[in-house]
Amino acid sequence: EGVQPQEYTIIKMEVMQPFPPKLGVLEGRRVFLAAATLRPETMYGQTNAWVLPDGKYGAFEINETDVFILTRRAALNLAYQKYSRIPEKPTCLIELTGYDLIGLQLKSPLAFNEIIYALPMLSILTDKGTGIVTSVPSDAPDDYMALHDLKMKPAFREKYGVKDDWILPFEIVPIINIPEFGDKAAEKVCNDLKIKSQNEKEKLAEAKRLTYLKGFTEGTLLVGEFAGRKVQEAKPLIRSRLIETGEAIIYSE
Ligand code: A2H
């Protein structure tokens, strides 16, 4: 963790019924994958969620009806935050691994895709955010390359039990225009830097730096209520809206 606190938005990605047998004890609850993002204005372009296959997660009771799936570390952090109503010792209803989450059907705020799936990503850190990441391949180089790997490598899909239907129908959704990079900035920058897979850490760091900087300072939203507005202006508006409607919460660490 850095010296400066990082303020994330937790996006509540609702797990659709029927739950798989492993999640049976959660029957009758509203269950969410709790995804930490720094880019709430990109949520229109979600194509899937990412989980770490070997990562340890828990289903934590947030109140009488709602349950969040996230790392224990994040559940505890959240419980101690100012605006959180999560009890100081949140109850873990069941311990889970990333493998238990792969293939869950999700409905996520603002996403143009009505149903998206939880899929494996190997570079997820369990000591950052919630350990759950929402995927926006139009604007996030990590997401673009991880989805690209799954699309191009049937053996990789097979290894993690990922069905073709969870991946192949999901195209990149253009949501932000950056003058220099077009409407699919992550794809453009990954191609320009000749990035071949999600494992190319250094090149991906450079791709992230480029898209993040230009996206924020020069990007314009193409879709949604704030279409035509600069990313800089739209970001806080979209974030507040998501929080007001109860579709997201603030999380810092
Ligand atoms: B961002 P920072 Cl469109 N492990 O959200 C790995 N990556 C994680 C993570 C974890 N445990 N938790 C969050 N993240 C990702 C959207 C996005 C993001 C876009 C563009 C760039 C971008 C959609 N994915 O991040 O190290 C999440 O992905 C570029 C850095 O705390 C989160 O925001 O700065 C970001 O990394 C937080 O990274």
- For residue 46, which atom of ligand 1 is closest to its CA? 23
Give pLDDT tens digits along the chain (253 positions). Answer: 456 788 999 999 999 999 999 999 999 999 999 999 999 999 999 999 999 999 999 999 987 788 999 999 999 999 888 667 777 788 999 999 999 999 999 999 999 999 999 999 999 999 999 999 999 999 999 999 999 999 999 999 999 999 999 999 999 999 999 999 999 999 999 999 999 999 999 999 999 999 988 988 899 999 999 999 999 999 999 999 999 999 999 999 9
pTM of the model: 0.97
How is the chain split into domains, by residue range? Answer: 7-252
pLDDT computed for residue 88 by the predictor: 77
CA separation (Å) from 184 to 106, 196, 202? 24, 17, 21
Q: What pLDDT sits at residue 167?
A: 96
Closest ligand 1 atom to residue 124 Cα is: 4
Ligand 1 centre from 208 Cα, in Å? 10
Q: Is the distance from the beta carbon of residue 252 to the nearest atom of ligand 1 less than 6 Å?
A: no
Ligand 1 neighbourhood includes 213 CB (under 6 angstroms): no
CATH class of 7-252: alpha beta
The answer to whether ipTM exceeds 0.90 is yes
